[in-house]
Amino acid sequence: MATKSTTGRARKKPAKVAVGTSEVNASDLRGLQQAWQQKHLVPFIGAGVSIPHGLPSWRNLVLEMLFEQVPHTRRLGSLPPNYQRALSAWMTDYFDYNPLVLARMVEKQFAKSARSGSFTESLRNRLYVHERSLPAGPKSALQALAAMAGKGNDQQGLAAAVSFNFDDLLERELASLNVPCTPVFDGSRNHSKGLRVVHPHGYVPKTGPVGRGSLVFTETDYHHLTESVFHWGLAEIVGHLRNNTALFVGLSMSDPSLRRLMDASRNSDIPPHWQIQKRHQVQNKDMLAVMSDVERRASEWTASVGGPPAGKQPAELADAINAALGQADSYDQEVYETMGVKTIWLNDWDDIPLLLEAIASP
């Protein structure tokens, strides 16, 4: 159905394409397909791609390593992995911990215990200790990305991949499909054939040597990365942002350095890149818990600063929550468009592989 614009003329809603449980703007899908067909598409990959395979998020990795080293928290390292990660998430939220700051403590503890030489091995162990193979069935986002690379040729496909993860999951998945690839994790010139998988924050393969110098782990490392004008990783990122079409997958887009680079590299009024995000929504089964949390916060606010007593009608509060979630979608979309990134909204993360398959369809 057409909608009315402020001038009174009918404005058509954008055409949609069904992708799993989601509906994607047809123009967005065509733009990504065109980038694929011209071999200009570069996926920018975050932790959300590796987490389904059992690897920790960045903050969980830092806290789990801290649990192993700090005397007061070492006993927590004996907790089962699900409790370790749940406690890590709670600590980060409750104490407003910044993982980059905590990473300083991790390496400091290794130095104090005269085990600094084992830092990279501990990092590797924590990274892969709970890695798991996914059951047969629908592809994961990682597997779908590897399959995309396998469909490419000299004329179409992925121009490269940029992974902000330490892990080698993508490289191993590509190897299982007999797709040549080359991990790039420092400024050395590399003329190997195959898909270049760029790791600007460093590379920690499951086996083989790991160099501490290439890792961006602590806050000091991060400062060095952002303050160095000629850092090889920044040059790689800016080059792809300027010359190719980026598709951000599994990234929260919260990294201020990445946002700064997107602003600096934009050279067109038309957003040239896309990000995949899940719609802000609360399932019906979770709405009561969310409403109770809002009511609790309202009561705490009334107790501290005064005001009318808390206690809205359930239907009114549920409508307000859904309206706020819809506004969050609009806010995110508008913010990232100012940085040159359009948003593809999905209802479920399981729709990511289906979207990737649609992009690489003939």
Residue 43 included in any domain = yes
Residue 11 included in any domain = no
**Burial of 167 by CB count in 10 Å (0-12 exposed, 13-18 middle, 19+ buried)?**
buried
Are 153 and 247 contained in the same domain? Answer: yes
Residue 351 included in any domain = yes
First to last CA, the chain: 31
pLDDT of residue 355: 97
Are 153 and 255 contained in the same domain? Answer: yes
Residue 310 included in any domain = no
End residue of a domain, out of 102, 128, 154 = 128
Are 269 and 202 contained in the same domain? Answer: yes
| Measured distance CA(362)–CA(348) in Å, rounded | 25
Are 46 and 185 contained in the same domain? Answer: yes
Q: Which helix (H) or strand (E) holds 248?
A: strand 245-249
Cα distances from 110 to residues 69, 95, 227, in angstroms, run 7, 23, 26
Are 44 and 96 contained in the same domain? Answer: no
pLDDT of residue 57: 87
Are 246 and 260 contained in the same domain? Answer: yes
Closest CA to 259 of 340, 342, 345: 340
Residue 4 included in any domain = no
Are 163 and 229 contained in the same domain? Answer: yes
Are 121 and 238 contained in the same domain? Answer: no
Domain count, the chain: 2
Residue 109 included in any domain = yes
pLDDT of residue 310: 57
Are 46 and 75 contained in the same domain? Answer: no
Are 152 and 216 contained in the same domain? Answer: yes
Are 337 and 201 contained in the same domain? Answer: yes
Query: What residue ranges of the chain have pLDDT lower than 70?
Result: 1-11, 68-79, 81-82, 84-85, 88-89, 91-92, 94-101, 104-105, 107-117, 190-191, 229, 306-314, 362
Residue 298 included in any domain = no
- The residues, ordered by sequence, that sit 6+ positions from 233 with a Cβ below 8 Å of its Cβ are 198, 200, 201, 216, 225
Which range marks the domain in which residue 326 is found?
17-53+132-282+319-359
In DSSP terms, 16 is beta-bridged to 25
pLDDT of residue 1: 43
Are 123 and 139 contained in the same domain? Answer: no
End residue of a domain, out of 87, 104, 128 = 128
Residue 292 included in any domain = no
pLDDT of residue 116: 45
pLDDT of residue 343: 93
47: CATH: 3.40.50.1220
Predicted TM-score (pTM) of this structure: 0.82
| Measured distance CA(172)–CA(146) in Å, rounded | 9
End residue of a domain, out of 79, 106, 128 = 128
